[in-house]
Amino acid sequence: MRKNIFTKLIVFAVAAALLAPMTAFAADINKHTFKFAFQNSKEHPQGQGVAKFAELVEQKSNGKMTVKLYPSGMLGGDLQTVSALQGGTIDFTVLNAGLLVGIVPGFGIFDFPFMFNDEQEADAVVDGSFGKMMFDKLPAKGLVGLGYWELGFRNVTNNVHPITKLEDFAGIKLRVLQSPVFIDTFNTLGCNTVPLPWPEVYTALEQHVVDGQENPVTNVQFASLFEVQKYFSFTKHIYSPQSSLVSKKTWDKLTDAERAIIVEAEQEAKLFQRKANRAQMDKSLEFVKTKMAVNEIAPAEMDRIRAAAKPVIEKNTPKVGQDVVDAFNAAIAKVRGK
């Protein structure tokens, strides 16, 4: 009998020891309701990634931490949302990394034309020391970088004619991101650029304020741009890594345990989002082919377009910072084994 009692006491003690850290951890998690604002719909791969992040945060916090989704620019365009993050009125967002150029000039390098050959190169650069170096610049500006998601390679659509050669850009009134490098790139190629926030793009195309725009094929489908555009041309001019961000004011209020949940959930959501986006790119292309005239560009013509865009990199290197450009070039060379 005494032996049985002694054995039970040992089992109880071991169980208590194992549960103690978990209990302490659980006690360090408070109730939170976060706002996550983003520009695309819930159905878009960006929205799917946000939904996965929200699901994981709730699951890992045992329901104590919840994330409310505000899709389709409900709380304003990207730049408004970033400002709200800095002020602490919105907690999370995900947006094109290059749009942070107004806060940290170095982020403009993500808008440089023709920097990546494929998605795998981009993953290796942003997930490595270069991506971390860029995020390290954000806390002083009221933001904390969590990870890099994907929107994909951007392509041009318009209602004037297909883009098959360099000269076809001339005179097209093209909506671009509110980014100096985007404006320089397409002005250099011959377009008349019109920077507009994403929620205004469909209406601008519908009302012929602009002739065209440039975005990954997923955005063309999910924003129904095929309804107001005729031609889709594979320019693959810029790859868009997206920055997943949290307000530093929000971050500073969290316990270590809560931060750990956010980081772990974001890392899982990032991989989920990239996989979802790449699968959707193929589906979106097949869909768009049934709605628009889709064309490739001959390799020789793409070489001409790349050469024409080179002055954009030279012009913007001093603005971005030679140190950032050098660090990027070292990172991409390492990935390419050069």
Report pLDDT digits (tens) over 87-131: 999 999 999 998 999 999 999 999 999 999 999 999 999 999 999
User: What region does 72 belong to: left with phi over 0, alpha with psi -120 to 50, or beta?
Assistant: left
Among all chains, which residue has been given the structure tokens 């208590």?
16
Q: Residue 188: phi, psi to the nearest 5?
A: -65, -35
Domains and CATH numbers, the chain: 31-335 (3.40.190.170)
- Mapping DSSP to helix (H, G, I), strand (E, B) and coil, where does residue 104 land? coil
Range list of β-strands (E), 138-210: 143-153, 155-158, 173-176, 192-195
Interval 222-270: pLDDT, tens: 999 999 999 999 999 999 899 999 999 999 999 999 999 999 999 999 9
Q: Residue 27's pLDDT is what?
A: 60
Angstrom distance (rounded) from CA 217 to CA 222: 9
pTM: 0.85
**Is a pLDDT exceeding 60 seen at residue 75?**
yes
Could you give the 3-state DSSP secondary structure of residue 73? coil
User: Backbone phi, then psi, for 28, in 5-degree steps?
Assistant: -90, 5
8 Å CB contact between 46 and 215: no
Cα–Cα distance measured from residue 98 to residue 308, given in angstroms and rounded to the nearest whole number: 21
Paired strand residues for 124 = none
